[in-house]
Amino acid sequence: MKQEKNKKDKKRLATSGSFRNRVWKNVLILIPALIFVTYALSSQQGYNWVCNSLLRENLTMISKYPHLTFDQKMQMKLGLNYNYLLIIRNSTPPDAVILYPSPEEFRVKESPFTQDIDNKLYALRFLYPRKLVTKENLPDSQYAGKVTHVAIVNGMGKDRVPYPIDSLRMHGVFPIEPPTKTK
């Protein structure tokens, strides 16, 4: 009986020693990590901005509007840019190949668009799995001859659609094949 008790005591001591070693190792790793994070936050402007501005503002918005959908959050953040991409996404099937406007068409004088909407990769983040091709890339693109829709912006690009479009439409997306009229 006494032998069993000694074995249990030794096992408990070995386990507690092992636990203490793990705690000390974690503390020794934690100290340099804290020093690095403190250095990064104090001397690197980007990290400082993320922690003190971006994260705080985002947490404020999340707590203020906890039940918004992703699309509603993006509309608040990106405004008309996101609304335009949402129109394209909702008006085209997932396998669409879209002739996307060039940066010059987005940047005409008094254009309501801002930020990176003219960047094809930026737009693709919201429009995937649709394929985007610009007029400049079309001749060399693997999607040449496969375009199913044309996106127009600021009234430009209507000439790429093979049927007449309402002249008042400034922004939108149209299929290459004319829509059929239903009775």
Q: What is the pLDDT of residues 40-86, one digit of tens each?
A: 777 888 877 887 888 888 888 888 988 989 888 888 888 889 999 99
pTM: 0.67
Note the pLDDT of residue 8: 65
Return the closest-CA partner of residue 157 out of 107, 103, 100. 100
**Which helix (H) or strand (E) segment is 42 a member of?**
helix 2-43
What SS3 state is found at 150? Answer: strand
Residues 6+ apart with CB under 8 A from 101: 118, 134, 151, 152, 153, 156, 157
Rounded Cα distance between 160 and 152, Å, is: 9
Q: Both ends of the chain: CA-CA distance in Å? A: 95
Confidence of residue 131 (pLDDT cuts 50, 70, 90): very high
Q: At which residue do the structure tokens 């707590």 appear?
A: 63
Return the closest-CA partner of residue 153 out of 116, 119, 103, 115. 103
Q: Please write the tens of the pLDDT for every residue from 94-124.
A: 999 999 998 888 888 888 888 788 888 889 9
pLDDT at 183 over 60: no
Strand order in the sheet with 97-100: 131-134, 97-100, 149-152, 172-175
Q: Quick one: 111 exposed, middle or buried, by C-beta within 10 A (0-12, 13-18, 19+)?
A: middle
pLDDT at 127 over 90: yes
Note the pLDDT of residue 3: 66
